[in-house]
Copies of this chain bind each other. A is one copy, B any other.
Amino acid sequence: MHHQEFMQLTISEAQKAGTPFAASIAMGNDILVTKVQSVSPEHDPTAHAIVLALRELGQLTHQTDFSGYTLYSTCEPCMMCGGAALWSHIGEIYYGVPRTWITQHYKNNDPGCSKVLKKSIEQLTIHPEFMFKECIHLFE
């Protein structure tokens, strides 16, 4: 099951960086990028893990259409990251901790993106709460 392996690798990168927020993008059996949230160190309010991963994949491939790629995230994409996934035409998203948990824990009210993404015209499959138990440890 490479989905579990890829999520585990994403979790490990988050642990190494000391943040709960990490994301990877894979094509078939290969992970191409893994990034962690870097808002403060990079002085960039948009430097969430998913945005950084999409940006780096653009640099690697010189493309901006990632149909057929799969995104792994330790949590449900926020509104910004969900929008970025939408514009990138990402094909599939696996995520761990749902946004409802995140917003409660961090006392913000980002609405998350699953409902919006499900209504999208894009061909997008979402796997919520994938390896939830492993991911929630990062946030606790």
Residue interface bits A84-104, CB-to-B below 8 A is 1, else 0: 101110000000000000000
Give complex CA distance A94, B86 in Å. 24
A40 CB-CB contact with B under 8 Å = yes
Q: Are B79 and A46 in contact (CB under 8 A)?
A: no
Interface flag for A129 (CB, 8 Å):
no
Residues of A bordering B, CB below 8 Å: 39-40, 42-46, 48, 51, 54-55, 58-59, 61-66, 78-84, 86-88, 108-111, 113, 116, 119-121
Say whether, besides A108-B121, A113-B79, A116-B111, A66 and B84 are in contact (CB < 8 Å). no
Tallying the copies of this chain within the complex gives 2
With both chains docked as a complex, state the minimum distance between the C-beta of A79 and any C-beta of chain B, in angstroms: 3
The 6 closest A-B pairs by CB, nearest first: A80-B83, A79-B83, A45-B64, A45-B88, A43-B58, A44-B58
Cα distance A121–B106 in the bound complex, in angstroms: 13
Bound-state Cα–Cα, A121 to B107, Å: 10
Q: Give A116 to B54 CA distance when docked, in angstroms.
A: 24
- Sample of 11 A–B contacts (CB below 8 Å): A40-B64, A43-B61, A44-B55, A45-B65, A45-B66, A46-B46, A46-B54, A79-B86, A80-B83, A80-B87, A109-B121
